[in-house]
Structure 1
Amino acid sequence: MSVFKSSDGTKINYEITGSGEPLIMIHGMNGNMRMFEYNKEQLSATYQVITYDVRGHGQSDRPYSYTIDDHIDDCLELLSHLQLKKAHLLGYSMGSYIALGVTSRYPRKVDKLILVGAKAHATVSSFARLMMEHRNEIKNKPKEEVKKILDHHIYYNQEKVRSWQQLVNDYSQLDANEEAAASRSITGFDYRETLNKLPNETLLIAGRYDNLNAPEESQYIAERIPNGRMVLFEHSGHAPLVEESERFAEEIKMFLA
């Protein structure tokens, strides 16, 4: 594990595994770099895999307030800190919004782009929207019961996802205020006008049963990026990186090769 300071003094925790062309992997909201534990070993056999805890998460600093622009700056500064002129970029869920933001601003710093469970714009977080849609179903339920109900709308393979979530939570968890700050940071972004200007080869990965960021959101992006295409995972919800982890790693290796 290593640490660098972003331009505003925020400490960002990162880890490098393997060697080869650099591949930066950006995790989802309320998660941490351990979200990629199921994939890192396979990918690091061929690539220099760089994972990090985005600000507000994991072992990185957790400021009270930050924005998606801060997330984008942190990723760019990680590239600079590691003296990388460019890297492949993979973003999962919230990480896909950050990766798309980095690529929209500085496409030459990104080699190939992989977006998992993505969307191109948001006025509220996907989780907040899902809670509103199922408000009658979760009304007056305890927190753990609410989580079980919503997980059935988000994921397909519940058994695999539970083990994965435990691995992530054992590394770090956010309290209610930190979760709220994380949620606020990914509202109000819109990349729709930039998609057709991106020159990067782009792979969209979506799970058929994802009701958090539906496959149609990924298809929308894939159809507008000139060198974009989408792969649909038939036995996954919002976490194909876990629900179909072996296929996930193979699709990425084929795309990057």
Structure 2
Amino acid sequence: MLQPIPLHVERRGEGFPLLCLHGHPGSGRAMGVFTEALAPHYRTLAPDLRGYGHSQVREPFSMAAHVTDLEALLAQEGIDRCLLLGWSLGGILAMELALRAPHRYPGLILIGTAARPRGKHPPVSGWELAATGIAALLNSLKPGWQWNIDTFGRRSLLRHLIHQQTPTPYGYLAQAGTAAYIQTSRHAHRALNAALKQGYNRLEDLPRLTMPALMLAGAEDVHITAAASQETAAALPHCDWSCFPDTAHLLPWEMPETVTTLIRDWLTAHRDGWRSPSCQS
């Protein structure tokens, strides 16, 4: 039987609980763009998934382990019902949690993700890898330095993650992105790659998720395409869909105020569905 592990968790705020799930590579700290904006009204929990950040393990694992860990975390926190917010891999895990027990999750927010993920990343050159390392190093020393962005960032793999080559997303990279990349274990890489090789596809199951849902995507995302995200949104019975032009996979870091304002407004519009006394944890 698969045993859960204790996860490192970034906790903020009070109110109805909101579980925020990061992508790959990632960490709970990388979800600060959401938790800082939402903590004034919600109790946010942003764990480091197994094999990421401060939740390191020594043994290999499968993607199913993440769901086991997250359900154990909710039990530990005394949470019977919560909202789910997932970015990239985190969105896939949010859908997996919801499919296991739809009644526990009255709202689903998905960013840059898909139930049948598809990408269109171009081939990677040696120069791009070198430029990525230089850009990341210089950005950690001087976050958001436009010279570095123009000289190395635009020529590196970062240009596929960030369409708007401005200081704002590079500031988030320096704050949380680089550390998250370094702290993503080989076991986490292997678990994700194994799941993708098996052809992950949950589209046929999505009609079971009848809770309100919100799907956000970047039009220039090559890691999980906007078309794949839109396909997922169309399969969810009650999903609002927004696609942001001139953004890529890291769209919450490219347009943080726009994205978090949209999420706050969406939550406010649907809050009667989970804020009644019977829904409180």
Matched residue SS, 1:28: coil
1:204 partnered with 2:215: yes
Find 2:158's aligned residue among 151, 154, 157.
Answer: 151
Q: Which amino acid aligns with 1:222?
A: A
Q: Which amino acid aligns with 1:59?
A: H
* Stretches of structure 2 lacking an aligned partner (at least 5 in a row): 134-152, 269-281
1:214 partnered with 2:225: yes
1:44 partnered with 2:39: yes
Query: What is the root-mean-square deviation of aligned Cα atoms in Å?
Result: 2.4
Find 1:31's aligned residue among 26, 34, 37.
Answer: 26
Bigger strand share:
1
Report if aligned partners of 1:66, 1:185 keep a CA contact under 8 Å in 2: no
Identity %: 23
**Distance of 2:208 and 2:184 partners within structure 1:** 39
Matched residue SS, 1:121: coil
Could you tell me how far 1:146 is from its partner in structure 2?
5.5
Q: Which amino acid aligns with 2:173?
A: Q
* Stretches of structure 1 lacking an aligned partner (at least 5 in a row): 1-6
Find 1:161's aligned residue among 156, 159, 169.
Answer: 169
Could you tell me how far 1:245 is from its partner in structure 2?
0.6
Other-structure match for 1:134? 123
Q: Which moved more, 1:161-170 or 1:16-25?
A: 161-170
**Distance of 2:168 and 2:195 partners within structure 1:** 27
Could you tell me how far 1:9 is from its partner in structure 2?
5.1
Q: Which moved more, 1:68-77 or 1:82-91?
A: 68-77
1:184 partnered with 2:193: yes
Matched residue SS, 1:194: helix
Q: Which moved more, 1:62-71 or 1:224-233?
A: 62-71
Other-structure match for 1:250? 261
* Number of matched pairs: 243
Larger radius of gyration: 2
Matched residue SS, 1:119: coil
Instruction: Tell me the TM-score normalized by structure 1.
Output: 0.85
Instruction: Tell me the TM-score normalized by structure 2.
Output: 0.78
Report if aligned partners of 1:24, 1:50 keep a CA contact under 8 Å in 2: yes
**Distance of 2:101 and 2:43 partners within structure 1:** 21
Report if aligned partners of 1:207, 1:234 keep a CA contact under 8 Å in 2: yes
**Distance of 2:16 and 2:24 partners within structure 1:** 26
Could you tell me how far 1:170 is from its partner in structure 2?
4.0
Q: Which amino acid aligns with 2:21?
A: I
**Distance of 1:253 and 1:27 partners within structure 2:** 18
Report if aligned partners of 1:94, 1:186 keep a CA contact under 8 Å in 2: no
